[in-house]
Chain A
Amino acid sequence: MSKYDSKFYDFFTHPDSPELMAAGAKKYGYSGIVVTNLKANEGIILPDDFSIYKGVEIQAKSSRIREEIKKHRDSNIITIVRGGEEDINRASVESDGLDILLQPSEFNNVLAKAASDNSIAIGLNLGLLIRLRGDARVRELKNMRIILKHARKYKLKMILTSDSSSVYDLRSPREMVALSSLFGMTPFEAIDAMSITPENILRRKSPDYIKEGIEII
């Protein structure tokens, strides 16, 4: 059994046409995507063995972020915060109920510890590597190395996303593994970041889930 046989998910897409995106993702070997700008789930024809999950990108001031996350806490919507300045990162890792903090800059041990306590996955945005060139890409690669270092030390969950707005931004899992090797991620870590971590988040969001370690028999 090859290590590429597991199910892969892309957890941050915002396409104009979810149908085209689903067909493209299925062709590339994904078994599910999270769409953050999904309006209505009805009327979308999906390929076999493929599912679209609803997500939301929370954009707010650092003082309001906690309340925004609380709104979606008990729903099955996957919450994503696009990381940035220190205060946004800090507010989001300290609020219980967030699923993914995407590409935080200036990541440090305090943030890593808080994220590990609240079991928040750290997203690495490979779309930036695809779209940026030159200095900006160097900065992001450096940033990703720092995140990876902290994630290994504090055993944080990592997620690889493509941040794609059209089917042309999407890359197949093997390409994502090759891109993640640019900043020192091993293939096994990268595959876990695309299959096991997303599955855990989906399991946590399913209605049957009560609390870690408890299940109805």
Chain B
Amino acid sequence: MKTLPTLREKKRYIAFEINSGMAIIRQELVREISNSIISLFGDKGASEINPSLMSFEGRFGILRCAREKTNETRAGLACINNIHGILVSIHVLGISGTIKGATEKFIQQSLVKESEPEKRIKK
């Protein structure tokens, strides 16, 4: 059943980038994110943050969390330093209210930014 708009949970979408030496498998990333948040804030805190990975592909991903808990989620992501033995660091690109906003504003932007220096060399 559809919930009333006023009773819906308010959420934010965090666009992030993973720096790692090797490729990361989605399931392991999901497990590590929830492990990290649970170990940092406990079961109660994790239920309030309500994290869920919306999409993940190679380097970039989008994580959903509660609107009031973006700072906590950021801390939880920062505490991840290895996934299944691979050293990683997660860099938050930005926070948006919609998936579309997070993708267009942060993930596509950072891809454009990376390709810019090559253009300069061609000139």
Task: Take A129-B79, A134-B39, A182-B40 as given contacts and tell me if A168 and B74 are in contact as well, using a CB distance cutoff of 8 Å.
Answer: no
Cα(A168)–Cα(B91), bound, Å = 10
| Chain A, interface SS category | helix
Partner of B77, one of A133, A168, A175: A175
Cα(A134)–Cα(B42), bound, Å = 11
Interface size class of A (residues with CB under 8 A): 20 to 34
Number of interface residues of B (CB under 8 A): 18
A175 touches B81 (CB 8 A): no
21 residue pairs bridging A and B, Cβ less than 8 Å apart? A24-B19, A28-B91, A129-B79, A133-B39, A168-B19, A168-B20, A168-B81, A168-B87, A169-B81, A169-B89, A171-B89, A172-B92, A175-B75, A175-B77, A175-B91, A176-B78, A178-B71, A178-B74, A178-B75, A179-B75, A181-B75
Q: Which 9 A-B pairs have the closest CB atoms?
A: A178-B74, A175-B78, A168-B87, A178-B75, A168-B89, A171-B78, A130-B81, A178-B71, A179-B75
- Partner-B contacts on A (CB < 8 A): 24, 28, 129-131, 133-134, 166-172, 174-176, 178-179, 181-182
- Partner-A contacts on B (CB < 8 A): 19-21, 39-40, 71-72, 74-75, 77-79, 81, 87-89, 91-92
